[in-house]
Amino acid sequence: MYPAVFEYLKPSSISEAITLLQQHGEDAKLLAGGQSLVPMMKLRIARPRYLIDIHRISDLNYIREQAGQIRCGAMTRHVQIEESELIRDRVPMLCEAASAIGDAQVRNRGTLGGGLVEADPSGDYGAVVLALNAQMKCISPRGERVIPAADFFTFAYTTALESDEILTEVIFPFPDSNSAGVYLKLERVAGDFAIAGAAVQIGLGQNGVCSTVGVGVTGAATIPQKAVSVESLLQGKKITPQLIDEAGRLIQEGAEPIEDTRGSASYKKKALSAILRRAIAESLRRAEAKRSS
Amino acid sequence: MSYQIVGQSIPRTDNTGKVTGDTRYTSDVLLPGTLWAKTLRSPYAHAQITRIDTSRAEKAPGVRAVLTGADARGILYGRRYRDITVLAQDRVRFMGERVAAVAADTLEEAEEALELIEVNYQELPAVLDPVAALQEGAPIIHPDVNSYPGLPKPLESPSNAFVRDVWTRGDIAEGFARSDLVVENTFTVPRVHQAFLEPHCCLVWIDDQNRVQMWSPNKVPHGLKESMSAAFAIPAERIRVNPVAIGGDFGGKGAPVDEPICYLLALRSGRPVKMVMEYREEFVAGAPRHAALLQLKTGVKKDGTIVAHEMDAYLDSGAYGGFRPGAVVGGIAHAGGCYRAQHARISVSRVYTNNIPGGQMRAPGEPQGFFAAESHMDCVARKLGMDPLDFRLKNLIEEGESTLTGGHYRAIKAKETLKAAAKAAGYDTPKARNVGRGIAMGYRGPGAGNTSLKIALNPDGSVVIQTSLFEQGTGTYTTLRQIAAEELPCDPDEIQIEILDTDAGVAFDSGIGGSRGTRVASGAAFQAARAAKEELLGLAEKLLGWPKTETVFMGRDLIHKKTRKRQPWDDLLSRAGRSIVGESVNRDDDHSPVTAFAAQVAEVFVDTETGEVKLRCLTTAHDTGAIMNPVGHQGQIDGGVVQGVGYGLIEHLPVQEGRVGTAHFGEYKIPTVKDIPELKTVLVKGDDGVGPYKTKGIGENPISPVAPAIANAIEDAVGVRIRDLPITAEKIYAAMRER
């Protein structure tokens, strides 16, 4: 099926885009990579009357290093993230998440901002921005604001963005130099949304105890979760196999996954526990390797 | 026999056009005044239509025709068995059945008009699985089945099982009584979609001479013509199926699907009518591979000898049966297996339910049957404490023996093929923890059929193959060129292909399917090339006075042996001032005297914490005849294996309460390159086969053993048996926890 009739708008600046959003409110949708929105429109799950294509707005597609941060324009494609040496060097879990999305065609078109704003409960980027404590820079008629990742996701397919607000940039603070991270995902088939996914960044102090920790999980609930309970469990402790098991138990108890074609809720909880334990062990291994090199 | 061009890896001739976009598919064909058709589909699995009101739709902008069941009374269509209504006749039998149709100037107008059609339904009790459908008191979905044309045997009493085939040998009860051990298992397999890129589509136009012109991606155009002729009682010669490229088939593009409704809309509107199914419609109302339930029971002696083997297979045909060429699904009976048993009973029922109708897909019935049979063989071996390899080697049929469903073949290489697979896969080598290896087998002979082919040699030097086959994507035209080039001889690149459509006055062509392409078409090309050469020799005799017995071919020259004189064909043809045409109508109708075995070994790693399976390697061994084009042959093997991996681990059309739960490829997942591990192929080459080059089929053989090989490897790895496809991580996880 073709999408229902819509009007195609192509602003050339952010302010113009915001004006259009103001005019059309809930009747409008922004078109980023279109990899989820367009199929939803074809199925008529989404029926925007106005489609605002933001491809013509310059300077929304970049990966920059700036003052101890990596700043990615919202229109940065998955493939650019996957192939960025800066990101691979500083926050490899972001590369890993990008390369686990869809297939090459999807990664060529799909964008970081689009993936985050879609807020699929099983999306890959959500776990990563939560683990890395990223910040979402947004612009609206009321000016600019920064939303911490932990406050960004509000419900399935819903974010803290107002209807006239645009996500323009995602800011990743450099993780501590003594830390390492990983994104792991269990999937039915390569490139599918996750059955369960976990992003873990662990820093090790002098004595080998966990000095910094960030944990985000996907597939655990209606929104990607920052696993605060796991973070506080690990913080300041020497990470032992027993502690990792305890983390697995904690996440399994707290998870409330949605049952869907990817699995039953009870299975997803157990799968999440396994993936999280593995991600902790792997980021610990990477952090230790870093320390001894 | 050694050949120059046959047996070479010649690149496919249709590649470039497909990559550049030059290839013309059905949806590219547009005639002036073409209308777009859309159909309204039933939201209920089983219901009575109590009212249908199209008055608003008829008045909607751009609408040229609106039809309901009342406009299609008494019309039944199908490939040969005809039980499908063009539009529901007062009663809908599955969710997705066509209830009304609209043709409008634009697609959007057609879609909008559909929304204006009002239909009231009264729901009826639905039968949603084949076993329930056979129970006493189950609603009979087709009470008039005995009146349907093409039903193989009239039913004695009303039943949803409209086809039942039984093969018996010996005395099955006695066989079980004499067994030391009897093992029983029940297996279930889901529907899977062919996942071709191009959905079903067609363009139908009744031209100014009152002829029905059709464009359709159908690989059996003569069959389509006959089906339409039978359904609408129009003389076959009034119908023409025009050639177009087929955008993927995988077995699914042989039945009339959209053509009947477009014909009625074209008749009503007086305009060409085009329909392109949305992929959502493919998933909810296409004609996928049948879901099935299979019960197996095998009695063995302690030494591993199979004494008795019984199988009851129930194919869920869904609401209609006519999307298959015959009413029976022959392949599933193969799953009696390639083992000997003194006593056997193999029973296959095709059962109506209120689900989406089943259709035709690569090796119809075989992946279902072999998944059950080959999984079951492993279960029996394990119960006996025997290695599944040894158990199979003990029981596989040998020269002079027939299969349990009566297949007699010569040059049986079942054991040789199995041993080759086991050896290449390192079946006996040590394995790490949670790594398993599993074996499975299958077999299938090349299909029979008819085709017409002409080879024209023209005075301008051109060589043209005229074929009544429509290439469906397996490289048939490339093979035809190789044969013509080999036999004439000439350069294959110089040969043009011309399609003889259904107006060309050729005999019935059985089209592509059933792994018959290479067998039937190569015979035709060979004969036509020989005939053309004979004509050339005749011409040389007539014009040059060279006796036929003294003339030989060298490249594109004829050479008179005695005088060593040379004469290029084209000069000869120029002198004659005409083309010559070698012609063949190849009726290669007999059941193949050879079959081809496939044996596979899957190696898996199972993650015991999540149940996730990593297929680490799949080794496939094939018993082959001559191979016409190695790269094309390997392509069929790789493609079949990959599709088998999808069937084993990933794909299914989930149907709940009659509703198909996947609407697009975001949900209906098929394997991508990342899911595919190392694939090893072993060819057990032989010199027996069919046709002039002694070939065997390959298109359908590789798909069937994959899923059972994986299931068997999983049990080898972690000791759990999964009897239901696809084998998801969650099923393994649950089975491991249940132990």
Q: CA–CA distance from B710 to each of A179, B124, B167, B395 (Å)?
A: 40, 41, 29, 21
Q: Is the model's pLDDT at B175 over the cut of 90?
A: yes
Are residues A257 and A187 part of one domain? yes
B736 touches chain A (CB under 8 A): no
* CB within 8 Å of B615: residues ≥ 6 apart: B602, B603, B604, B645, B649, B675, B676, B677, B710
Q: Give the pLDDT score at B20.
A: 95
One domain for residues A197 and A121: no
Q: With contacts defined as CB-CB under 8 Å, which chain A residues touch B666?
A: 39
**Tens of pLDDT, residues B98-143:** 999 999 999 999 999 999 999 999 999 999 999 999 999 999 999 9
* Domain B448-588, CATH among 1.10.3720.10, 3.30.365.10, 3.40.50.10380, 3.40.190.10: 3.30.365.10
Q: Do B729 and A271 touch (CB under 8 A)?
A: yes
**Cα B565 to Cα B557: distance, rounded to the nearest angstrom:** 10
What beta strand segments (E) does B379-504 contain?
Answer: 435-444, 449-457, 463-467, 495-499
CA gap A43, B24 in Å, rounded: 27
Q: What is the pLDDT of residue A160?
A: 97
Task: Give the number of beta-carbon pairs within 8 Å between A and B.
Answer: 60
Q: Does A261 touch chain B (CB under 8 A)?
A: yes
Q: Which of residues 186-215 of A touch B (CB under 8 A)?
A: 186, 188-192, 195
Question: In this complex, do A188 and B666 lie within 8 Å of one another by their Cβ atoms?
Answer: no
Q: Which residues of B fall within a CB distance of 8 Å from A261?
A: 654, 661-662, 667
Question: B547: which 2 tokens?
Answer: 């006796």
* C-beta atoms of B669 and A263 within 8 A: no
Tokens of A202: 């662990």
Question: Rounded to two decimals, what is the model's pTM?
Answer: 0.96
Q: How many residues does chain A have?
A: 293
- Residue B43 has a pLDDT of 97
| Domain match, A74 and A106 both | yes
What is the ipTM metric for this complex? 0.94
Indicate if A33 and A66 belong to the same structural domain: no
Residue B227 CA to residue A236 CA, distance in Å, equals: 76
The answer to whether position A128 is within a domain reads: yes
| CATH code for position A278 | 3.30.390.50
> Is residue B439 a contact partner of residue B389, using CB atoms and an 8 Å limit?
yes
Dump pLDDT digits (tens) for B362-417.
Answer: 999 999 999 999 999 999 999 999 999 999 999 999 999 999 988 889 999 999 99
- Determine the CATH number of domain B291-446+592-738: 3.30.365.10
Work out whether the CA dihedral A267, A270, A273, A274 comes out positive or negative: negative
What is the span of the domain harbouring residue A238? Answer: 179-292
A281 touches chain B (CB under 8 A): no
Lowest mean per-residue pLDDT among A161-170, B170-179, B197-206, B663-672: B663-672
CATH number, domain with residue A130 = 3.30.465.10
Per-residue burial over B80-119, b = 16 or more CB atoms within 10 Å of its CB, e = otherwise = bbbbbbbbbbebbbbbbbbbbbbbbbebbbbbbbbebbeb
Q: Give mean pLDDT in consecutive 10-residue pieces for chain A, a chain of 293 residues.
A: 89 95 94 94 92 92 96 98 97 97 95 96 96 98 97 96 96 96 96 96 94 96 96 97 98 94 95 98 96 85
CB contact under 8 A, B650 and A189: yes
Give pLDDT, residue A2. Answer: 78
**Which structure tokens are listed for B77?**
């269509």
Contact A43 B730 (CB under 8 A): no
Domain contains A2: no
Determine whether the interchain pair B610/A271 forms a contact, defined as Cβ–Cβ distance below 8 Å. Answer: yes
The Cα of B228 is separated from the nearest Cα of chain A by a number of Å equal to 27
Is residue B327 pLDDT above 80, yes or no? Answer: no
By Cβ distance, the residue of B278, B649, B734 closest to A1 is B278
In tens, the pLDDT along B409-458 reads 999 999 999 999 999 999 999 999 999 999 999 999 888 899 999 999 99
CATH at A38: 3.30.43.10
Does A156 share its domain with A184? no
For residues B267-294, average pLDDT:
96
Q: Does B610 touch chain A (CB under 8 A)?
A: yes
Instruction: Check if A5 contacts B (Cβ < 8 Å).
Output: yes
Please name the member of B278, B650, B730 whose beta carbon is closest to the beta carbon of A263.
B730
Task: Kindly state whether residues A157 and A245 are assigned to the same domain.
Answer: no
Last residue of one domain, picked from the residues A151, A173, A195: A173
Q: Is B108 on the interface with A (CB under 8 A)?
A: yes
Ordered DSSP codes for A134-197: -EEEEEETTEEEEEEHHHHEEETTEES--TT-EEEEEEEEPPPTTEEEEEEEE-SSTTSPPSEE
Q: Which residue does chain A place closest to B277, by CA atoms?
A: A1
pLDDT higher than threshold 80 for residue B492 = yes
A180: number of Cβ within 10 Å: 24
Considering only the beta carbons, identify the residue of A39, A189, A275 that sits closest to B675.
A189
Q: How many domains does chain A contain in total?
A: 3
Asked whether residue A1 is domain-assigned, the answer is no
* Angle (CA) A204 A206 A212, round 5°: 30
Residue A274 within a domain: yes
Residues in B touching A267 (Cβ below 8 Å): 730, 733-734
Largest CA distance in chain A: 63
If asked whether residues A168 and A183 sit together in one domain, one would say: no
pLDDT value at residue A123: 94
- Superfamily grouping for domain B26-124+199-245+253-285: Aldehyde oxidase/xanthine dehydrogenase, a/b hammerhead (3.90.1170.50)
Helices (H), B430-546: 476-487, 522-544
Q: CA of B624: how far to CAs of B420, B478, B617, B697, in Å? A: 13, 19, 22, 8
N residues, chain B: 739
- % of residues, chain B, pLDDT over 90: 89
Determine whether the interchain pair A188/B734 forms a contact, defined as Cβ–Cβ distance below 8 Å: no
Which of B108, B674, B729 faces A190 most closely, judged by CB atoms?
B674
- Alpha-carbon distance of B288 to B276, in angstroms, equals 17
Do A183 and A246 belong together in one domain?
yes
Shared domain for A191 and A222, answered yes or no, is yes
Query: Domain segments of chain B: what residues?
Result: 26-124+199-245+253-285, 291-446+592-738, 448-588
**Interface touch B669/A189, C-beta < 8 Å:** yes
Which site among B278, B674, B725, B727 would you substitute to test the A interface, given the most A Cβ atoms closer than 10 Å to its Cβ?
A: B674
Buried b (16+ CB within 10 A) or exposed e, A112-136: bbbbbbbbbbbbbbbbbbbbbbbbb
| pLDDT for the residue numbered B666 | 87
Picking from B609, B664, B672, the nearest residue to A103 by CB comes out as B672
Give the closest-approach CA distance of A202 to chain B in angstroms. 23
3-state secondary structure B590-646: CCCCCCEEEEEEEEEEECCCCCCEEEEEEEEEEEECECCCHHHHHHHHHHHHHHHHH
pLDDT at B514: 83
pLDDT of residue A1: 66
* Residue A16 and residue A103 in one domain: no
Which member of A1, A186, A192 has the closest CB to residue B612?
Answer: A186
| In-domain check, residue A125 | yes
What confidence tier does B235 reach under pLDDT thresholds 50, 70, 90? very high
| Interface contact B677, partner A, CB < 8 A | no
